[in-house]
A and B are shown apart, each in its own frame.
Chain A
Amino acid sequence: MFFTAFSRPARTTFPLTAKDKETVKTFWAKISSNGAAIGADALSRMLVVYPQTKTYFSHWKDLSPGSAPVKKHGATVMSGVADAVAKIDDLTAGLLSLSELHAFTLRVDPSNFKILSHNILVVLAIMFPTDFTPEVHVAMDKFLAAVARALSEKYR
């Protein structure tokens, strides 16, 4: 099935170093005003490039890129990411209620966190080609993986 993602469930996460946190916070400060746009593009893209993710949104009228529900939800997701940046020193505690939401209500298969993370990184590369250096890329990749891990805490 050629539309499966290059993702696997997050089996390993790598602890964020002080340098990683610094890099993430600095980069986030530059880009945070674009949060909603980043979220909208990442989500739009995910639904097209990894169509199996559409299964979570059967209740939306319109799943096409840039549609109203996609834009709204993209903004919601990125405000969660913004919250995670603020709570970067203790993601597990900081994202506790979001973890419970994903575990008990939304029940999103955790493999999808990696898919969405990849799409966020693609959007960052598109929107910030000079700032999204390999060093920033690795810090953001680790950070999003750590967020995904925190979101998966309550699953079982």
Chain B
Amino acid sequence: MVKWTDFERATIQDIFSKIDYDVVGPAALSRCLIVYPWTQRYFGGFGNLYNAAAITSNPKVAAHGKVVLAGLEKAVKNMDDIKTTYKELSVLHSEKLQVDPDNFNLLADCLTIVLAGQMGAAFTPEVHAAFQKFLAVVVASLRKQYH
């Protein structure tokens, strides 16, 4: 079981209470599709992903970005057992969506960068470390059911 310090717990709750899910989710997913274009392989049905402008204005990408962030909220609400909370999501990503789990790291990096841009100086090294730890737990939990 993951041990969270009071600071880490408070930081994660604070971050997620303040971000605009409708902005951060789409921004993180579109950045991922732009910076790591091979991740587009999972979004064949999304229409025009031809260039950065197309990706940024694509409504399916935006909608899906919100879905992803809503998924993260589950982890925020169940920080003491993210592993169990994500069991079905892990099975979904492995068996149905067949996402290479290394891609979770790419999206996590993009989410960190989007959050940093939003929070500015408030994204201190300590806040960054707490967020990094949270995402590491999320990624590990999503990887758990792969076999």
Contact B133 A6 (CB under 8 A): no
Q: What A residues does B133 contact at CB under 8 A? A: 2-3
Given contacts A4-B136, A48-B125, A134-B56, contact A122 B116 (CB under 8 A): yes
Which listed residue, B34, B109, B136, touches A2 by the CB 8 Å rule? B136
> Is A141 among interface residues, defined by CB-CB distance under 8 A?
yes
- Min distance, Cβ B23 to any Cβ of chain A, angstroms: 12
Q: Are A6 and B31 closer than 8 Å at their CB atoms? A: no
Does B91 reach chain A (CB closer than 8 Å)? no
Q: B26-40 CB contact bits vs A (8 Å, 1 = yes)?
A: 000011001100000
Tell me whether A137 and B113 are in contact (CB under 8 A): yes
Contact of A126 among B108, B120, B132, B137 (CB under 8 A): B120
User: Do the beta carbons of B116 and A125 come within 8 Å of each other?
Assistant: yes
Q: Is the CB of A126 within 8 A of B129?
A: no
Contact A122 B112 (CB under 8 A): yes
State in angstroms the CA–CA spacing of A132 and B115 once bound together: 13
Most buried by A among B109, B120, B121: B109
Q: Which residues of B contact A137 (CB under 8 A)?
A: 31, 34-35, 113
Instruction: Knowing A122-B128, A137-B35, say if A6 contacts B113 (CB, 8 Å).
Output: no
Instruction: Tell me the chain B residues, 112-147 only, with Cβ under 8 Å from chain A.
Output: 112-114, 116-121, 123-126, 128-129, 132-133, 135-137, 139-140
Residues in A99-133 with C-beta less than 8 Å from chain B: 118, 121-123, 125-126, 129, 132-133
A96 on the B face (CB < 8 A): no
Cβ contacts B89-116/A at 8 Å (1 or 0 each): 0000000000000100110110011101
Contact B108 A135 (CB under 8 A): no
Identify the closest chain B residue to A129 (Cβ): B117
Asked whether B10 is an interface residue with its Cβ less than 8 Å from the other chain, the reply is no
Q: Can you list, as one digit per residue, whether each of A35-58 has a CB less than 8 Å from chain B (1) or not (0)?
A: 000000000110111100000000
Q: With a CB–CB cut-off of 8 A, which chain A residues contact B137?
A: 2
Q: In this assembly, does B2 line the interface, its C-beta being within 8 Å of a C-beta of chain A?
A: yes
Q: Judge whether A134 and B105 touch: CB under 8 Å.
A: no
The residue in A6, A50, A65, A137 that gathers the most chain B C-beta atoms within 10 A of its C-beta is A6
Given contacts A2-B133, A134-B31, A137-B35, could you give 19 more A-B pairs where the C-beta distance is less than 8 Å? A3-B132, A3-B136, A6-B106, A6-B139, A8-B102, A45-B128, A48-B125, A49-B132, A65-B125, A122-B113, A122-B116, A122-B123, A125-B117, A126-B119, A126-B120, A134-B34, A135-B34, A135-B52, A141-B35
